[in-house]
Structure 1
């Protein structure tokens, strides 16, 4: 997945917004909360997303995936796909969807209804 495909994929999710921040990173939010980031790692696109505790433990052992700089060091369960082999495009998209669901689930029910966000599937 490249940056353009990442941005197009995130833009198709309900109630998302996009900002450029943190050194020219593409930052995607659901409501007011971040669910995915695309920045650079050694000149390549790097994709950062929130994961469950189990996924955090398992995926960080895969080559090309690491605990997300800054976020993971603060105890948050975020990973970064930064190099090959990492995840396939389909796997990366699925983890971005899960990240969206995890973050949306953290919004109040009132906020989700206000934004027109469906109940998170979490699966």
Structure 2
């Protein structure tokens, strides 16, 4: 998944907002809390993507080739996809949607209502 495809998909998730920070990383949030990010990479390089996962998914995914605990975020159960052939685009989109839902579920009822979640 390219950075443009990543951004396009995340933009479709309910109440998702986008900022560019940390030296050019594409950061996606819901209710002000990050659910996925893609750091800037050299043109033509594989786009690494990091996202929040459940405790169970973290244990499973970090055992797969091409997926590592996300730098600086692993303690919060984030993973990073490091290889283009690690998972299908459909599976990656499913994980991004799940990451959005995990973070959204931690927002207050009032905030979820304000965001239409």
- TM beyond 0.5: yes
Please show how residues 36-115 of structure 1 align to structure 2 within 5 Å.
Answer: 36-40=36-40, 43-72=45-74, 75-115=75-115
Contact persistence 2:26–2:40 (CA under 8 A): no
Q: TM-score, normalised by structure 1?
A: 0.88
- 1:5-25 deviation per Cα after TM superposition (whole angstroms, max 9, x unaligned): 110000011111100011211
Q: Which has the higher contact order (CA 8 A, sep 6+)?
A: 2
Q: TM-score, normalised by structure 2?
A: 0.92
1:22 is aligned to 22
In the alignment of these two chains, the number of paired residues is: 115
Contact persistence 1:41–1:82 (CA under 8 A): no
Could you list the runs of 4 or more consecutive aligned residues of structure 1 that deviate by over 2 angstroms after TM superposition? Answer: 40-44
Contact persistence 1:63–1:85 (CA under 8 A): no
- Gaps spanning 5+ residues in structure 1: where? 118-123
- 1:47-76 deviation per Cα after TM superposition (whole angstroms, max 9, x unaligned): 11111111101111111110000111xx21
